[in-house]
Amino acid sequence: MLLSTLGALVLSGLAGLATAQDDQLTTISNSTTSTPIATLYGDSFKSAGGKVLNDKVNVFYGNWTSSQDEQTTFMNFVDGVSSTQWFNTLKQYTDSDSNAVTGPLNVAAAVNDAGSRGLTLSDTNAHKQIILDAVNSGYLSATNQIDPHGVYVLFAGSDVSDSEFCTKNCGYNSHSDEFQYMFIGYPGTCADYCIPPMIKDKSPNGSPAIDAAVTIFSHEIQDVLTDPRNDAWMIQQNGTTIELGDFCAGSDVPDGEWYGTVSQDSNNNATYNLEVGNQKFLVQTVFDLQNKKCILSAS
């Protein structure tokens, strides 16, 4: 569930950004070594009966105090990843009504908030209120209505501090009574903690912070889609919630399990494992429910 300057509202018309093409996975992991969580729970992992998400994803986009190129890079990934073989692995996960995580993900709307709730965020209630403010403003929805089937993504800029970011997590996912959401802090704030070592100095898109944000997103979106209300694909163990993304991540998980087979970009020698459109990214592997291993693509 966890992966260890928000300030004038501006509507960003990002729904029409680049769309992905088919067959964009360049390397596939055929890993056979089980991670610690997979060893403990892989054979017994099943849905607790709750719903999965199988429709679009709405994105609330915080203010990154950097270039528009960084924003576009992230939005391109979100808008195109559903067409990759990596995303297809998630389709194994269904609920009691036989609904599967089918996608596609869509960037339905985006907004920049320069700090309406201050630059020091103290708890999850502040995160949820920022999202509600954005919806009520009309910048995300013409009717000022929450989409109960959407996912709202809240990003903190480099000038925002958060009580748990950089100390307890780099991002997390949760829900309210009305919607599900994820929070991702600016990874460059604590690069040693939140940027994968293999892209810390040289990343696929020339920004280790935004490339790390994509990696974090690739963990959290697994959790949100398969366990949006904390009652579907999850395990409660000693007060800790274990979700899909946790199976292939963690400090005791080797890089080969966490990221699968990686490649080096011939242009800049940066490490990546997935192509979306004409861009390259580093994503986390997904636990293959059928074969009980962490993979980049279902066979």
CA pair distance 256, 147, nearest whole angstrom: 37
Identify the pLDDT of residue 58: 62
pLDDT in tens, 141-193: 778 888 888 899 998 888 889 999 999 999 999 999 999 999 999 999 999 99
Average pLDDT, the chain: 83
**255 and 282 in contact (C-beta within 8 Å)?**
no
DSSP secondary-structure letter at 100? B
Q: 167: which residues sit within 8 A by CB, 6+ positions away?
A: none
* Domain ranges within the chain, ordered by starting residue: 2-295
Q: Report the sign of the C-alpha dihedral through residues 137, 63, 174, 107, in that order.
A: positive
**8 and 111 in contact (C-beta within 8 Å)?**
no
Using left for φ > 0, alpha for ψ between -120 and 50, and beta otherwise, residue 138 falls in left
**25 and 275 in contact (C-beta within 8 Å)?**
yes
Identify the pLDDT of residue 6: 26
**253 and 292 in contact (C-beta within 8 Å)?**
no
DSSP secondary-structure letter at 34? P
* Secondary structure class of 111 (helix, strand, coil): strand
Checking DSSP bridges between strand 120-121 and strand 161-162, what pairing results, if any?
A: parallel
Identify the pLDDT of residue 9: 21
**25 and 296 in contact (C-beta within 8 Å)?**
yes
Q: How confident is the model at residue 57 (pLDDT cuts 50, 70, 90)?
A: low
Q: Which of 18-22, 104-108, 147-151, 169-173 has the highest mean pLDDT?
A: 169-173
Residue 3 has pLDDT above 50, yes or no: no
